[in-house]
Every structure is written in C-alpha cells, then in structure tokens.
Amino acid sequence: MPSKAKRMGFAGTDSYDLIMYLAVLLIASDKKVLLVDNSLQKALSCCVPPVDMTSVKERKACYRGLDIQKETYMEVMGEEYDYVLADFGQEMNQKALKTCDTVFLVTDTRLHNMTGIEYFRGAWDNTCLLIRDITEGMEEKYIHKLLQEKGIQERRSYYFYFDETDREMAAMLQYYNSFSYKKLSPAIRYFLKDALRGFFGMDEAQLNLAEKKLKRRKWDACGFLGTCGRSDGDNLLSDGSRPYGSLPV
C-alpha cells in the first residue's frame, strides 16, 4: 500500500537535533510523525529514553504524538503518518534516499566532511544544503568557492554559524531527552520556520500556534508541553541508573 506521508531525508553530519525540532513543531500542529533512524551512529535514537521502547522486535519507540523506528524500508511506510523524517547519517549511497520527497544534505566546513557529500555532485532538484558550525571569521564566499570546486550545487542552502547554546541543546536531547525552543539560536529557528513553510506546507497561523506551544515550557519525552508531571526519579531505570547517563530535568 503506498504511503500518503511526505518523506524527508537527512544525510551527512549530525542533524538529529534539527530532525527532532522539526518533528516536535509538526506534532504541535497535530501532525502524525514517524522518525526513522537509518544511520550507523543511531544519534537520533539516543534522543529517546530506552525505557520507552515498546517492542524489541519492532525496534520502535512511541511517546506522545511521536514514533521513532530504528531501521525500516522507506517504501513500505503505512498510511498512518503525515510525515516521515529519516536520518541516514553518512550512509549517502542508500537507495532509500532517492525515495524521499526532499533530501537535507548536512555538512560543516571541515574539508573531509565536505568531501563526503560529493556523492551529490549532480544534486537532485529536491536537495537542500545545510552547512553547520561555521567558525567566526570564515567568509561565506570562501565556502561557496569550496562547494563549486567540488561540483556541489547550492540550489537552496542554509548557513549556521557555531553557537555554543545550540550545542548545549543538542546534548540535552540525548542526555535529558528534552530541549528549550526559546534558547535555540535565531539561525536555527529561522531554518525551522522557513523549512516548515517551504517543504512541509505549513502556513503562518499553524507556525505561530506551534511556536506558542513550544515556548510555554521545555519539551521533553512526555510531550511538547512537558505536562506529564514527571518527578526527577521518574526517569530512572529499574537499577536506579539514568538512561544514557541523563540527569534530572
């Protein structure tokens, strides 16, 4: 059965934080979202406490409004989702990438990482380039030149300068399984809203409502409003330890 879901793929360097932010904004707009972790690193899977794993066989975790599956074939997605967001990591030769409606190609300015995206030398029309952790003082024209030399096209691109708070929020996703939307840098929030307009078809009213929900409270694994009433001890495993070394939120 063909899927009605729009499929968004992310490939290259770390993008699990951006995927989670987009997913949470979508579920704040009452969309049904499936996250698929097809990467070797499984960075996206680390954003979900292992205590939420509902089936070892299905390798699927579920919590309020958001499902995550560690591995799956994109072409067999069911009709129950509005969006599928898949993290391919640096496995850019996967056939499933070509089944995506949009591919977000992610890199930083390190030369070995830029070399890794040369697979997209003849980039498809549906490819969007994200360049992260640009250091202060590095001119964008130099980055343009590097990309041109590698034959990488910039039909649509976003530039993110290094921001310590963004790094902290990305770490919180894995250690605390939460983040604060209000603390994200203007560059990331601009990308999220622009992407949701351009690639996900959200209008301003939907965006404003989703942002309003996220700004009320920090999002965590209990939902985007964090309203489960969880105490510090509720995030403990049976042996008293915290999943992935997390600390109380």
Q: Is 237 exposed, middle or buried (0-12, 13-18, 19+ CB in 10 A)?
A: exposed
Q: Which of 159-163, 217-221, 230-234 has the highest mean pLDDT?
A: 159-163
User: Is the predicted pLDDT of residue 6 greater than 60, yes or no?
Assistant: yes
User: Is the predicted pLDDT of residue 123 greater than 80, yes or no?
Assistant: no
Q: What is the pLDDT of residues 78-120, one digit of tens each?
A: 568 899 999 999 887 677 788 899 999 999 999 888 887 877 6
Q: Tell me, what's the pLDDT at 58?
A: 55
Listed range (31-35, 205-209, 240-244) with the worst mean pLDDT: 240-244
Residues 6 or more apart whose Cβ sits within 8 Å of residue 27: 33, 64, 65, 66, 224
Query: Angle 198-201-205 (CA atoms, 0-180°, nearest 5)?
Result: 105
Instruction: Report CA-CA distances (Å) from 163 to 21, 132, 168, 185, 188.
Output: 16, 10, 9, 7, 10
- Classified as helix, coil or strand, 35 is strand
CA dihedral 178, 7, 196, 34 (to 10 degrees): -30
Q: Tell me, what's the pLDDT at 227?
A: 38
- Go through the domains of the chain in sequence order and give each one's CATH number: 6-245 (3.40.50.300)
Give the DSSP letter of residue 44. Answer: T
Residues 6 or more apart whose Cβ sits within 8 Å of residue 140: 134, 159
Query: What span, in angstroms and rounded, lies between the C-alpha atoms of 62 and 90?
Result: 25
Q: In the chain, what is the straight-line distance between the N-terminal and C-terminal CA atoms, in Å? A: 41
pTM: 0.83
130-159 average pLDDT score: 88
Q: What is the pLDDT of residues 148-189, one digit of tens each?
A: 887 777 778 999 999 999 999 999 999 988 899 999 999 999
Q: Tell me, what's the pLDDT at 90?
A: 87
Q: Tell me, what's the pLDDT at 229?
A: 36
197-223 average pLDDT score: 84
Q: What is the pLDDT of residues 9-62, one digit of tens each?
A: 999 999 999 999 999 999 999 999 999 999 999 999 888 876 555 554 455 667
Query: What span, in angstroms and rounded, lies between the C-alpha atoms of 36 and 140?
Result: 32
Q: How many CB atoms lie within 10 A of CB 19?
A: 26
Instruction: Report CA-CA distances (Å) from 87 to 48, 72, 90, 106, 224.
Output: 14, 11, 9, 11, 21
User: Is the predicted pLDDT of residue 72 greater than 80, yes or no?
Assistant: no
Q: Tell me, what's the pLDDT at 190?
A: 97
Q: How many CB atoms lie within 10 A of CB 165?
A: 12
193-220 average pLDDT score: 88
